[in-house]
């Protein structure tokens, strides 16, 4: 192995991981080690045109590191099992907890800075709010196996005396944007709304099953993936205090607003129909999420975020309407 310094991106064939590889390319970084399961044909377009040095299968990654001993300068651990309808916790435990521990251990032993993906799913129904204070994390009650696995790793990371020289766990809120074509049911509401508009001329949204929320007024902190990429890069460049950070916009918006913005990107008037929520997710559904972004701001991140309307308009016009990928 040569003396070049590499950046590792796990989950590199997926939505955020492939966008991050493209963003790093745009910043001049092409010595990338991309890690994922690369056997899915529907993910292959996400990596077309990307520049990188190595593509390594997820399950053989640690053997590959031991054999090749690359000089790694930074790790973005974005890969995870993100399916919130996967109720078998052992799947999430293996991929989201145990695998992440191995990444952490490698970064600690080799003094490699680390940014990893946590999730706003760790906050559960929001009984304790959406503050990224470390003292709150052990008391959080996630609503599904995915959220539990993410919180278990956050708790574990905070207990470690051995740490990477810099690390940040990012609690992604509702991220949307290009390169989520492969995600099926787990793709963003914007993605599904766009295709419903094209197919049916209307968008179906879940009715509220709580009296304190009107239909379509369930609220989420929707964050455009381009803001996520900027923050990941900023953390690599500036390395503020290590810890767990929220990554949303700090402003909750309704699903109705989201769908109207999607129609706006197509220059059409909104047509929304409300349907019952599937029973398998009804008791695990978040009605409100809003990131407290004070910690990241105080760490020095000054950039403005895309508004919902700006982000959705860019996504619809420049990607979905063209079937285009982030490069």
Give me the catalytic one of 101, 155, 183, 284.
183
Q: 214 with 118, same domain?
A: no
Query: Which pLDDT value is given to residue 86?
Result: 65
Q: 272 with 235, same domain?
A: no
Query: Which pLDDT value is given to residue 258?
Result: 97
Percent of all residues in the chain with a pLDDT value above 90, rounded to a whole number: 88
Q: 41 with 149, same domain?
A: yes
Query: Which pLDDT value is given to residue 286?
Result: 80
pLDDT above 70 for 82: no
- Three-state DSSP class for residue 7: strand
The beta-strand segments (E) located in 97-202 are 114-119, 167-172, 174-176
pLDDT above 80 for 297: yes
DSSP letters spanning 39-105: --GGGGGGGTT---SEEEEGGGHHHHHHHH--EEEEEEE------TT---HHHHIIIIIIHHHHHHH
User: Is residue 264 included in any domain, yes or no?
Assistant: yes
User: Is residue 91 included in any domain, yes or no?
Assistant: yes
Q: 85 with 234, same domain?
A: yes
Q: 72 with 168, same domain?
A: yes
Domain with residue 70: its CATH number is 3.40.50.720
pLDDT above 80 for 87: no
- Cβ-contact 151, 269 below 8 angstroms: no
Domain count, the chain: 2
**Sign of the alpha-carbon dihedral angle for 100, 102, 105, 107:** negative
Query: Which pLDDT value is given to residue 195?
Result: 97
Q: 208 with 297, same domain?
A: no
User: Is residue 24 included in any domain, yes or no?
Assistant: yes
User: Is residue 127 included in any domain, yes or no?
Assistant: yes
User: At 290, is the pLDDT very low, low, confident or very high (cuts 50, 70, 90)?
Assistant: very high
Domain with residue 263: its CATH number is 3.90.25.10
Query: Which pLDDT value is given to residue 95?
Result: 86
The mean per-residue pLDDT over the stretch 312-318 comes to 98
Computed over every residue of the chain, the mean pLDDT equals: 95
Query: Which pLDDT value is given to residue 76?
Result: 98
Q: Does residue 183 have an active-site annotation?
A: yes
Query: Which pLDDT value is given to residue 94?
Result: 82
Q: What is the pLDDT of residues 124-170, one digit of tens each?
A: 989 999 999 999 999 999 988 899 999 999 999 999 999 999 999 99
Q: Does residue 146 have an active-site annotation?
A: yes
Q: 41 with 89, same domain?
A: yes
Query: Which pLDDT value is given to residue 283?
Result: 80
Q: 21 with 162, same domain?
A: yes
User: Is residue 327 included in any domain, yes or no?
Assistant: no
User: Is residue 55 included in any domain, yes or no?
Assistant: yes
In angstroms, how far apart are the furthest CA atoms of the chain?
62
Q: 200 with 157, same domain?
A: no
User: At 280, is the pLDDT very low, low, confident or very high (cuts 50, 70, 90)?
Assistant: confident
pLDDT above 90 for 1: no
Q: 43 with 171, same domain?
A: yes
Q: 211 with 138, same domain?
A: no
Q: What is the pLDDT of residues 16-71, one digit of tens each?
A: 999 999 999 999 999 999 999 999 999 999 999 999 999 999 999 999 999 999 99
Q: 63 with 198, same domain?
A: no
Give me the catalytic one of 52, 116, 123, 146.
146
Q: What is the pLDDT of residues 90-122, one digit of tens each?
A: 878 888 899 999 999 999 999 999 999 999 999
- Which residues, 6 or more positions from 84, have their beta carbon under 8 angstroms from its beta carbon? 121, 144, 145, 146, 147, 186, 281, 284
The mean per-residue pLDDT over the stretch 195-224 comes to 96
Query: Which pLDDT value is given to residue 83?
Result: 66
What is the extent of the structural domain holding 142? 5-175+221-250+291-306
The mean per-residue pLDDT over the stretch 250-264 comes to 98
């Amino acid at each position: 192995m040569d003396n070049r310094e590499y950046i590792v991106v796990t989950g590199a064939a997926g939505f955020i991981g492939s966008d991050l590889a493209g963003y790093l390319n745009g910043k001049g970084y092409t010595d990338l080690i991309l890690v994922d399961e690369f056997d899915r044909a529907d993910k292959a377009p996400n990596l077309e045109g990307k520049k990188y040095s190595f593509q390594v299968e997820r399950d053989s990654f640690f053997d590959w590191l031991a054999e090749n001993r690359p000089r790694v300068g930074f790790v973005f651990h974005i890969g995870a099992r993100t399916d919130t309808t996967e109720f078998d916790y052992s799947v999430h435990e293996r991929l989201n907890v145990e695998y992440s521990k191995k990444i952490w251990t490698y970064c600690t032993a080799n003094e490699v800075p680390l940014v990893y993906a946590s999730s706003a799913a760790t906050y559960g129904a929001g009984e304790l709010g959406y503050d990224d204070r470390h003292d709150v994390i052990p008391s959080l009650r996630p609503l599904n196996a995915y959220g539990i696995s993410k919180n278990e790793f956050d708790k574990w990371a905070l207990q470690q005396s051995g740490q990477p020289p810099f690390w940040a766990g990012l609690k992604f809120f509702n991220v949307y944007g290009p390169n989520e074509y492969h995600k099926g049911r787990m793709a963003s509401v914007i993605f599904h709304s766009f295709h419903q508009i094209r197919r049916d001329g209307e968008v179906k949204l879940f009715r509220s099953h709580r009296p304190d929320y009107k239909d379509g007024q369930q609220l989420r902190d929707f964050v455009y993936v381009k803001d996520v990429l900027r923050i990941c890069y900023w953390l690599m460049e500036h390395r503020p205090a290590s810890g767990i950070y929220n990554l949303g916009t700090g402003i909750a918006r309704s699903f109705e607003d989201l769908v109207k913005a999607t129609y706006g990107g197509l220059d059409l008037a909104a047509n929304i129909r409300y349907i019952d929520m599937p029973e398998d997710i009804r008791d695990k559904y978040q009605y409100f999420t809003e990131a407290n972004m004070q910690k990241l701001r105080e760490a020095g991140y000054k950039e403005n975020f895309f508004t919902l309307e700006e982000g959705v308009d860019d996504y619809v016009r420049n990607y979905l309407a063209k079937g285009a990928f982030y490069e």
